[in-house]
């Protein structure tokens, strides 16, 4: 099985590890740069992107993570993990930085108070049946550059639609939390990429 890391400085680590196991990978928790050696893929979990940003810098993980992305290692970023990947961030905290390796503009906490957290079925490119998507203070993708493609959208409650899943080469990102349901097909997409 491919060894797939889960960034484990903060956030929703255990559920991702279980989902990866269910999807046929061997999960490894990543806390230090050395933990990245030999990975076939990596999950950047949900949590709090400002805290994760601070901890990544404290643990000297920013440059190794950028290198791993530049090397083309498959990565799945979920919720705060999507924020971490974005090249452009709206409504970030003062001084908040990102890894900047996904050609999108992401708005943090985008769905607003009424929709703080919700679950809805979304159609994801590459998955046959709708996916039960759990959103928790979720970001959305407000703009895509030419290198990124939309994988899924949801209604914004005001007649529009918002992008909630994207792909750029071997990088996947979702606004929602695919680790919180028994459906492991999004992790399966990552594991397929990790198998090469």
Annotated binding site for L-glutamine: 47-49, 108, 136-137
Shortest Å, Cβ 95 to ligand GLN: 14
Shortest Å, Cβ 123 to ligand GLN: 22
Cβ(82)–Cβ(108) below 8 Å: no
46 near ligand GLN (CB under 6 A) = yes
Smaller CB distance to ligand GLN: residue 83 or 191?
83
Cβ(6)–Cβ(194) below 8 Å: no
Q: Restricting to residues 110-139, which ones interact with ligand GLN according to CB under 6 A?
A: 136-137
By residue count, the chain amounts to 196
Q: Is 13 exposed, middle or buried (0-12, 13-18, 19+ CB in 10 A)?
A: buried
Rounded Cα distance between 47 and 69, Å, is 20
DSSP code of 34? Answer: G
Smaller CB distance to ligand GLN: residue 2 or 46?
46
**Cα atoms in the Cβ-side hemisphere of radius 13 Å centred on 85:** 36
Active site annotation includes 179: yes
108 near ligand GLN (CB under 6 A) = yes
Smaller CB distance to ligand GLN: residue 103 or 179?
179
Binding site for ligand GLN (CB under 6 A): 46-49, 79-80, 83, 108-109, 136-137
């Amino acid at each position: 099985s491919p060894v797939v890391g889960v960034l484990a400085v903060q956030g929703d680590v255990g559920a991702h590890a279980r989902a990866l196991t269910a999807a046929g990978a061997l999960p490894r928790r990543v806390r230090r740069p050395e933990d990245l050696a030999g990975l076939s893929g990596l999950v950047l979990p949900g949590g709090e992107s400002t805290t994760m940003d601070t901890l990544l810098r404290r643990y000297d993980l920013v440059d190794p993570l950028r290198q791993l992305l530049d090397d083309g290692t498959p990565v799945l970023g979920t919720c705060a993990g999507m924020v971490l990947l974005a090249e452009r961030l709206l409504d970030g905290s003062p001084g908040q930085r990102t890894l900047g390796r996904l050609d999108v503009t992401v708005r943090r906490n985008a769905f607003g108070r009424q929709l703080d957290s919700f679950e809805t079925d979304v159609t994801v490119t590459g998955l046959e049946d709708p996916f039960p998507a759990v959103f928790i203070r979720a970001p959305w993708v407000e703009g895509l550059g030419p290198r990124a493609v939309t994988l899924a959208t949801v209604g914004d409650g005001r007649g529009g639609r918002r992008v909630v899943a994207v792909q750029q080469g071997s990088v996947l990102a979702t606004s929602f939390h695919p680790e919180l349901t028994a459906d492991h097909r999004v992790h399966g997409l990552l594991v397929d990429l990790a198998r090469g």
